Amino acid sequence: MLATAHTMALVGLSPHPVRVEVHSGRGTASFDVVGLPEATVRESRVRVRAALGQIGVPLHSHALTVNLAPADLRKIGSVFDLAIALGTLAAVGGMDGLLLSDTLFLGELSLTGAIHPVRGVLPRLVGAAAHGFHRAVVPRANGAEAAIVARAEGLEVLVADDLASVVAFLRGEGALSAAEPSGTEVHDPVADLSDVRGQPSARQALEIAAAGGHDLLFVGPAGAGKTMLARRMPGLLPPLSDEEALVVTAIHSVAGALPEGHGLVRTRPFRWPHHSVSDAGLLGSGDPPRPGEVSLAHDGVLFLDELPEFRRSAIDGLRQPLEDGAIRITRAKSSATFPARPMLLAAMNPCPCGWNGFDGVRVCTCTTDRVRHYRARVSGPILDRIDLQLRVEPVHVAALVGPPGREECTSVVRRRVLAARAMQAERWARGETSASTNARLAPRDLERVAAPDATGRAVLEALLGQRGMSARAYGKVLRVARTLADLQGRTAITSQDLLQAADFRVLDRPIDAEAA
């Protein structure tokens, strides 16, 4: 007898329907899986045989062939177990095969028949809805994630604990409960800006970066508060839109990074990989390819603390995704593309001793050569794309131990950020720009919405010449100036905006000029 059950494979975040066709014949007992199954899928025979045994369906008198179609799509992982078990059950006459049409099955089976959670349920169910399935059965532990799709796409999603209850349900002998939306969306706890004493320029840089979506680098000695400041960025950013939240949640789901029982990821991700992170961990890897930190930070913040300590190869590997907004992970047998468009936030010491350029505070003891060598570890192209670079000096000890001042808190700054973002979104909606944030404005956009007047142009040219900045830096200054004007609700960009924007280019200046 022949029976068919339905399930869903993923390539990157793209769902691909898989038909599990099971043929049962007479003859010597056998259990073959064909249709490009990887080892993990072939192993499912062991789990399926045991799980069916648990519900009283022995397979030892059947010659079974499982075909996973389409045959040219590689099948990896244990997610197909449930569909294979049900298709097999129908093929050996244990259930009417018609009951399996229209429903998508996802889940790994244990030897006892329990259904274990799997990765990527959210994007797989989006695929189920798109391919016209009316119903899906998923592991209970994936219920909160699955309910997001049920709500958004009108798919009936049921959760199950074990094979027996799914079989009972299909036979009309029992019920399965609907996937429940989780009360707890994923909101990371937010560190507040009011904890930071002083540091007016660094705070302002955070505000500008949040408002325009600019990348930001803090340069300063140890203890200056760089890490503390960076951790306050997520609180300043607007919440994810519904569409953004779906993509971010899908990436986390595929990476296995979605906390169990939680629903949609609502706050912008803040990923803080240690500088010892491997290229694979940062960029993504594996078979099937899994997203790395740069993708987990998509539409959020990728914080590279102690930037020069990262592997050169890892930093170099970031260039392409940061340019394209997506990363392609290629392995011998498979490849996949994941979104990768985070805001880049970085911190570094100016030199090995930490005090180069801070001579007013303490004198740098490094030779110019050592400083140059140290800076060279941070590859030019990455530094080049960071719009905002500024020095952070430690606040005076007296300011740290004194009574707390009245520092602005995150919610106040965030209100200004949101207003500035609204101006950018309006220009975008009116078709004046090709991007919804200033950081992503194309050169053509800049001519239209960030052109300085004659005075501004003269000021800027003098400044760029004097500091030896590149033509590329020119565009960055215009983008930041646009954000400064937006933060004040102005349409025109003033010379003041340009001067201030140009001040955020500390690393463009030659080292020798700093070390007096």
Ligand X SMILES: Nc1ncnc2c1ncn2[C@@H]1O[C@H](COP(=O)(O)OP(=O)(O)O)[C@@H](O)[C@H]1O
- Which residues of this protein are in contact with ligand X, per CB under 6 A? 196-199, 220, 222-228, 347, 395, 400
Q: Given the complex with Zn ion, which of 361 and 492 has the nearer CB atom?
A: 361
- How would you class 160 by CB atoms within 10 Å of its CB: exposed for 0-12, middle for 13-18, buried for 19 or more? buried
From 64-72, 112-120, 350-358, 473-481, span contacting Zn ion (CB under 5 A): 350-358
**How far from each other are the two terminal CA atoms of the chain, in whole angstroms?**
86
Q: Given the complex with Mg ion, which of 124 and 226 has the nearer CB atom?
A: 226
How many residues of this chain interact with Mg ion, rule: CB under 5 A?
2
Answer yes or no whether residue 437 interacts with Zn ion by CB under 5 A.
no
The number of beta carbons lying within 10 Å of the beta carbon of residue 46 is 12
* DSSP-derived secondary structure letter, 50: H
According to CB under 5 A, which one of 366, 382, 459, 498 is a site residue for Zn ion? 366
Q: Given the complex with Zn ion, which of 276 and 365 has the nearer CB atom?
A: 365
Residue (of 291, 188, 193) closest to 239 by Cα position: 188
Distances (CA, A) of 514 to 57, 500, 503: 78, 19, 14
CA distance 145 to 182: 8
Answer yes or no whether residue 227 interacts with Mg ion by CB under 5 A.
yes
According to CB under 5 A, which one of 142, 249, 356, 410 is a site residue for Zn ion? 356
From 4-12, 124-132, 211-219, 343-351, span contacting Zn ion (CB under 5 A): 343-351
- How would you class 270 by CB atoms within 10 Å of its CB: exposed for 0-12, middle for 13-18, buried for 19 or more? buried
Supply the DSSP string of 466-510, one letter for each residue: HHT--HHHHHHHHHHHHHHHHHTT-SSPPHHHHHHHHTTBGGGS-
238 binds, among Mg ion, ligand X, Zn ion, none (CB under 5 to 8 A by kind): none
Q: Give me the torsion for CA of 437, 417, 487, 499, rounded to 10°.
A: -70
Tokens 């911190």, residue located: 347
Residues 6 or more apart whose Cβ sits within 8 Å of residue 362? 221, 355
CB of 307 to Zn ion, least distance (A): 16
Evaluate whether 252 touches 231 at the Cβ level (below 8 Å).
no
Tokens 């899994």, residue located: 290
Answer yes or no whether residue 275 interacts with Mg ion by CB under 5 A.
no
351 binds, among ligand X, Zn ion, Mg ion, none (CB under 5 to 8 A by kind): Zn ion
CB of 218 to Mg ion, least distance (A): 9
Q: Given the complex with Zn ion, which of 20 and 511 has the nearer CB atom?
A: 511
CB of 382 to ligand X, least distance (A): 19
Q: Given the complex with ligand X, which of 228 and 417 has the nearer CB atom?
A: 228
Answer yes or no whether residue 335 interacts with Mg ion by CB under 5 A.
no
Q: Given the complex with Mg ion, which of 13 and 307 has the nearer CB atom?
A: 307
Q: Given the complex with Mg ion, which of 140 and 226 has the nearer CB atom?
A: 226
CB of 344 to Mg ion, least distance (A): 16
CA distance 496 to 494: 5
Which residues sit opposite 336 in a β-bridge? 329
How many residues of this chain interact with Zn ion, rule: CB under 5 A?
5
From 158-166, 220-228, 316-324, 348-356, span contacting Mg ion (CB under 5 A): 220-228
CB of 202 to Zn ion, least distance (A): 20
Q: Given the complex with Mg ion, which of 150 and 230 has the nearer CB atom?
A: 230
Residues 6 or more apart whose Cβ sits within 8 Å of residue 132? none
CB of 344 to ligand X, least distance (A): 17
356 binds, among ligand X, Zn ion, Mg ion, none (CB under 5 to 8 A by kind): Zn ion
Answer yes or no whether residue 265 interacts with Zn ion by CB under 5 A.
no
According to CB under 5 A, which one of 92, 364, 439, 459 is a site residue for Zn ion? 364
Residues 6 or more apart whose Cβ sits within 8 Å of residue 401? none
Evaluate whether 22 touches 2 at the Cβ level (below 8 Å).
yes
CB of 386 to Mg ion, least distance (A): 17
Answer yes or no whether residue 511 interacts with Zn ion by CB under 5 A.
no
Q: Given the complex with Mg ion, which of 226 and 416 has the nearer CB atom?
A: 226
Q: Given the complex with Mg ion, which of 349 and 424 has the nearer CB atom?
A: 349
CA distance 144 to 229: 34
Supply the DSSP string of 235-281, one letter for each residue: GGSPPPPHHHHHHHHHHHHHHT-SPTT---B-SPPEE---TT--HHH
The residues of the shown chain that bind Mg ion, judged by CB under 5 A, are 226-227
Interaction site with Zn ion (CB under 5 A): 351, 353, 356, 364, 366
